[in-house]
Amino acid sequence: MATLRFLTNNFAIPAQTVADLYRYRRQVELLFKWIKQRLRIKSFFGTSENAVKSQIWIAISVYILVAIIKKHLDSKSDLYTILQILSLTLFENALLALLVTRMKSRSDTVYTHNQRNLFDNFTGQQ
């Protein structure tokens, strides 16, 4: 079993409490890492508790709605791609299923259509 040493300047609390606080702190750090990666919150628009909570709840709501859309459409695209499609086509009057499939097919062809194959000379293709 590994021995962990935690340094503190608060000698009034027991060692177990210090260890628990570090463990909880790590959980909070992991939560904020998840928020930054999944919810795409880079900075908060306000500094009050209400502003921060509102922004997090809105981002969680959008994340869940996009996950529901992904499941409903049985899409193979990841949530970030669907969110990008929605942000690019926000004011288009089109069915969501068509937007997702249209953007997916565009992304498949855009990169291969205009690029030459490195090995064209070897396969005899022009």
SS3 70: helix
For 73-124, how does the pLDDT look when each residue is reduced to its tens digit (9 = 90+)? 888 888 888 888 888 777 777 777 777 776 555 554 444 455 556 665 555 5
Q: Is the dihedral of CA 104, 73, 59, 91 positive or negative?
A: positive
Of 47-56, 62-71, 101-110, the range with the lowest mean pLDDT is 101-110
DSSP tag of 75? -
pTM of the model: 0.56
Between CA 31 and CA 36, with CA 35 as vertex, the angle to 5 degrees is 120
pLDDT score recorded for residue 106: 53
pLDDT score recorded for residue 109: 47
Q: Which amino acid is at 13?
A: I
Q: What is the mean pLDDT of residues 23-39?
A: 87
Statement: residue 1 has pLDDT above 70:
yes
